[in-house]
Amino acid sequence: MNFKLPLIALFVGALSLSACGGGGDSGSGVAVSGPASLVSTDVTVGSGATVAAGTPITINYTVWVYKADASDFKGSQVDSGTGLQFTAGATNIIAGVSNGVVGMKVGGRRVLLIPAAQAYGGSGSGAIPPNSGVVFDMTVTAVR
């Protein structure tokens, strides 16, 4: 696989984020840590049924807080699980995952770098601080 373009895009995104916020008051007082937009990287392309919006699916997953200066952008791990069921493209899960899973196939593994606006936003969630992006590593185990 050719990962050159996605890696360049990740580097440019991380670089542009690191240029934000230096000294002085930005006015909002809200620090944001995460990618500028949703970034999707297929680690393994599955061979089973394809996930479409509106399709009930099951995944195994691990979630980390986004960390810009980590080589894989993975900060502290905050959650993992097996057998998570939801409907792709629906609002019963964070938008970055709901939309980021579309197009995957059963058996496929994908890593999503999700900006705060498509994750938990300004409120955060548990160990995920407000305005933080997340890294979501998932494998589709079933399409129903």
Summarize pLDDT for 50-69 with one digit per residue, the tens.
999 999 999 999 999 999 99
Q: Is the pLDDT of residue 28 over 90?
A: no
Summarize pLDDT for 65-94 with one digit per residue, the tens.
999 999 999 999 999 999 999 999 998 899
Alpha carbon distance 50, 99 (integer Å)? 14
**Ranges of each domain in the chain:** 4-143
Of the chain, the percentage scoring pLDDT greater than 90 comes to 74
| Stretch 127-134: mean pLDDT | 96
* Average pLDDT of the residues of the chain: 84
Q: Which two tokens stand for residue 16?
A: 């542009």
Between 34 and 105, the more confident residue is 105
DSSP string, 41-87: EEEE---SPBP-TT-EEEEEEEEEEE-TTSTTSEEEEEEEEEEEEEE
Q: Which two tokens stand for residue 48?
A: 């089973």
What is the domain class of 4-143 according to CATH? Answer: alpha beta
